[in-house]
Structure 1
Amino acid sequence: MCTSDYSCVSALADKQQNECHMFSSNLDVMTAEKDNGLTYLEHKECNWRKHCCYPQDGTRCLDAAYQDCQDAFEKGERNSGAVYILRPDPNWRLIRAVCQFDHESGWTVIQRRLDGTVNFYRGWNEYVDGFGEINGEYSIVLAAGQRIETFIKQGKGGLEGLYYLTRKNRKLNIYMEAHDGEFRTANYSTFYVDDASDDYRSHIAGYTGDAGDSFTLHNNRKFETYDHKTSHCPVTYQGFWLN
């Protein structure tokens, strides 16, 4: 099956899932997992950004990865609450995140807490990589699944993914629900983090909302965990930008 897509330069066919993933940049291939039915496809036509061709076996094709959920919104996606595969930077890896859409924007869910089933008292490496369950609680964003992840040598999810995600779109909405079912919001017009060389230092400004502003206090702080810290706070609390 062939399809025209000028953003597609490579594809990954997964016969177990009967689907094909199209990507807007070349995957950094390690070894094909033949036992898992994975086939990596990269054609001259794709590299010329003309079209991508897939096996004539009925495999269906998914759209190329979006940069973030705002990019997905601008390209017509409206399936709020669904899991999307994103590539925040063309030279970086794939990540998974839940997208929420309203009437004017797409929001990438970078952390979700629901019922306390996931332990957030984690070490530095786990926060850098990302952890949790994509359909449950997770932080911050997750790598794009083991079957696809096998084909990508570099990059992570987690804080590293947050760095790439916030280089372009820098608004943050925090939604909270109280035990009595009442909702509160904290919105920030500016939120982004620096790269790993500065421990993902936070930049937070422009609060509006009805939840109270308890986040701006942590502006211009490095991310800390119990095993990567400059104070005693992350020993007592979970990983965060702590002041």
Structure 2
Amino acid sequence: MFLLVGTYATKLGKEYYHFSVCGLGKVLKPEHRYKELNAFTSLYCGMLCGSDRDCKSFDYDETKGRCYLGSKKVGRNDCEHLIDDTDGGVQHYAEGPQCIDGKEPQSDKTCRCPTAYGGPGCHTRMEDCSDWTDYFEDPVVMWIWPNNTERPFRVFCTKLSNVRTVLMNREVGDVDFQRDWQQYRDGFGNPTGDHWLGLHYMHLLTDNKRYKLR
């Protein structure tokens, strides 16, 4: 469970969330606390942290009204920086959102799988549109990452009789298909409309699997 601390921290350009990815009742190790202050609420403690350039996260003791600024920004892979709260009543807050199951924080404050990855824990690399079968119904642009490629690229996916990866779309008529060899190799247009995927990407896509051209 994540608990937003409040508006003061937000106004300072930061938002802090009750951090429970490493388990409940976890707080910063003493060596990662560099300042102790009085704070009558967790909101005010978040404001103190947000106004301090060295503060990466904080612990708040509601019983004592004490705010502990921390030098460590703790993520899902940094649980070694935390220990069990032996005093009780202390909660750890970190700049968020804090993402779990392999997801990464986005600029819109949401959590998503890395580009071209999906499935439980974001462990599945999506090689073509068929790997995205359970994730869309209507035609949509998706990221794919075939095994033999250095980076992912976008394709247009549809579900007709089966899932299809679109190589070319020429319905709207707003893209000129009179192009030179280099453009046909690299692709042109936008996957959301009229486009040619590109011979280079078609080769990468078909190099490891067998497909039917329709």
TM-score by length of 2: 0.45
The structure with more radius of gyration = 2
